[in-house]
Amino acid sequence: MQTDLHERNRLSWNAATVVHNLHKPDQAAFLRGGGSTLFEEEIALLGDVRGQEVLHLLCNSGQDSLGIAALGAAVTGVDISDEAIAFARRLSEESGIAASFERSDVYPWLDAAITEGRRFDIVFASYGALCWLSDLDEWMKRVAAVLKPGGRFVCIEFHPVAMIFDEEGKHAFHYSKPDEPLLWDNGVSDYVGASEGGLVPSGVSGQAAPFVNPHPCAEFQRGVADILGAILGARLQLAEFREYPYSNGWKPYTEMGALPGRRWTALDDRPSLPLMYSVVARKG
């Protein structure tokens, strides 16, 4: 594990999270009124969560965690960003939706959870989470250890193929080089603002000032084989794998076609790409 890069990412996410949430109106009121940031894909993947204990790793500011809690689950959200967890705790209190949020790098958090005997029915991760993990194999082994027998790892993510192109759609990055992290001097971007409302189901509250992140960050580029290999290496049983020709919320390239439901896809005159995937794996 490259804990020095994790710490770099914590600072970058702290700065970006403040800006991301400036784009959003009163999220507590949105949630109190029955609103949710979850897309139908993850709701279907999670299934009936009533009465289940769900661990949401790399939960960001907690909006999706609270969406899962509103479906009847007991949710614990974990994220490395101080700003994200502080916001999530306030949002839980102000929305009246109960959930627990804990700030930590996920690796030591999982180690402590294993030692303490904490176990969950579902471990969930989504949308731009796995690229921040410096050692996916070790992370998955820890995920498997905190699952109850019969428990599920549920993940929906942006596709590795989509990540080999820059914003202009040019092939610019390796498909898989997890041992050579991508180092970004300009840090975590204001991708919420760039999504043109795709990541704000409550409606955009106003354009934040142009954002320059003072803290660099590092991401880890992995292919599908790396991801499935880590799951199988953790002795989880693959139950489902799907690919999607559209992107939920996030607009990966400058020129994209808009679809209903805050989705983006390739323009009609261009070949389609897998822009997302989902995976479900069970503990025997």
- pLDDT, tens digit, 9 for 90 and up, residues 217-226: 999 999 999 9
> Which class does domain 3-283 fall in?
alpha beta
Strands 236-244 and 246-248: unpaired
Average pLDDT over residues 168-183: 93
pTM: predicted TM-score of the whole model, two decimal places: 0.95
What's residue 178's pLDDT?
86
Strands (E) in the chain, as ranges, are 53-57, 74-79, 100-103, 120-126, 147-158, 182-184, 217-219, 236-244, 246-248, 257-259, 263-265, 276-283
pLDDT surpasses 80 at 176 = yes
pLDDT of 208 strictly over 60: no
pLDDT tens per residue, range 77-119:
999 999 999 999 999 999 999 999 999 999 999 999 999 999 9
pLDDT at 221: 94
Cβ contact 170:145 at 8 Å: no
In the DSSP assignment, the letter for residue 198 is T
Q: Where are the domains of the chain?
A: 3-283
Asked if pLDDT for residue 192 goes beyond 90, the answer is no
What was the pLDDT predicted at 136?
97
Can you give the length of the chain in residues? 284
What are the tens digits of pLDDT across the range 29-52?
Answer: 999 999 999 999 999 999 999 999
* pLDDT at residue 205 in the model: 62
d(CA 65, CA 85): 11
